[in-house]
Amino acid sequence: MSNTQVMSGLLSKINSIPNPCFVLDEFLFERNMKLLKRVEQESGASILCALKGFAMWEVFPLAMDYISGGTASSLNEVKLINEKMNRKAHACFVVYEQEEFNEVNKLSSHATFNSISQFEKFKSILIKDVQYAFRINPEFSNVAFNQYNPCTPGSRFGITKEMLKSKLPDQISGLHFHTLCESSAEDFEDALIKIEENFGDYLHQVSWVNFGGGHHITKDGYDIDLLIKLLKIVRDKYNVDVYIEPGEAIGLNAGYLTSKVEDVVKVNGINTAVLNVSFAAHMPDCLEMPYKPNVVSEVESGLHKYNLGGNTCMSGDFVSGFSFDKELKEGDLIVFEDMAHYTFVKTNFFNGVNHPSIGIWTKNKEFKLLRQFGYEDFKERLS
């Protein structure tokens, strides 16, 4: 079943869905999970959901039918993994706070230190039930956009080769790398060459390795067979357990944001359709990355050109370059595609604009409303 066929079913009941609303398509989400399960089964590696990229915990039990667990970058994420995945977390914080570390230890199976100084700070209270790692910076990445490149010169992420002694501390049993972003299996292969070149000796000293996120496994055209081959090579060559934690691939192309046109403003020959949602508040990745999201009803060669504008007072709260075959008018439905991962997680209450509702389009072709938001939610964020 194609995305278009799935989407047509959702659109047939769109009037029964709150607007605006984030909608996760359960069929498409499970399709991603099945693909990730194949990678686990054929490679022997374990796949973890990185909560920084996908955190709709309502479907965590479903995800756990297919993948192995979750990665957390904060204590709140650690707690959510324990509660909703019923698993201990793989913790990988930029910094651990003293007052939180004992609880992180208690709720984690694996924990990664971003720096040697962080390891030195906590090494006297490490426990045998947790496997600890260093996050390594291979000083190589083929990520083109520097804001999403963890290996830029001077990066605060990870330990470079020159910082390490020839032997890892006895308490360190793993290495954790993160070099990718929306990357292909070929990109991973290139990174792996550099990782082995610089850290091959250390890989022989550990029992597990985590190759981080950025693997675009569920994107059309991704070479899954190559990924499986590379993961197997690492497992066999170094005799290690292997983990990857694709954040975006978990929810890629599995969700939507419904919105509607509230006004059309025409100034200096530029048409802007002002929506009841905000790029700054509800789709911040579109401005941070930046990228132009796909809209279901958009026609690439359409004669009618528009900016789509958000409903906040931020001047830059708009994205340009949309085309439609008909003029937009007040009340028209605008459905953004691929809204189940990062930009969804980053949603906020900027300017007091209301948060879109959250729901699931089930495999039974019914809409399940999970939550709606109002003034009390906004007020609590400011208290």
Q: What is the pLDDT of residue 237?
A: 98
Q: How far from 209 is each of 110, 113, 189, 272, 336, CA to CA, in Å?
A: 11, 13, 15, 49, 37
Third-level CATH fold of 3-24+255-339+347-381: Lyase, Ornithine Decarboxylase; Chain A, domain 1 (2.40.37)
Q: What does residue 210 show for φ and ψ, rounded to 5 degrees?
A: -115, 120
pTM of this structure: 0.94
Mean pLDDT of 320-346: 93
Boundaries of every domain in the chain: 3-24+255-339+347-381, 44-251
Q: Which tens digit of pLDDT belongs to each residue from 275-298?
A: 999 999 999 999 988 899 999 988
* Highest mean pLDDT (candidates 3-12, 296-305, 367-376): 367-376
Please state whether 110 falls in left (phi above 0), alpha (psi between -120 and 50) or beta.
beta
Mean pLDDT of 327-354: 93
Q: Which tens digit of pLDDT belongs to each residue from 241-256?
A: 999 999 899 999 999 9
DSSP notation for 270-293: EEEEEESS-HHHH-THHHHTT---
Helix axes 26-43 and 224-238, enclosed angle (nearest 10): 40
Q: What is the pLDDT of residue 381?
A: 84
Domain 44-251 has CATH 1.10.1240.10: no
Q: Which tens digit of pLDDT belongs to each residue from 142-163?
A: 887 778 888 888 889 999 999 9
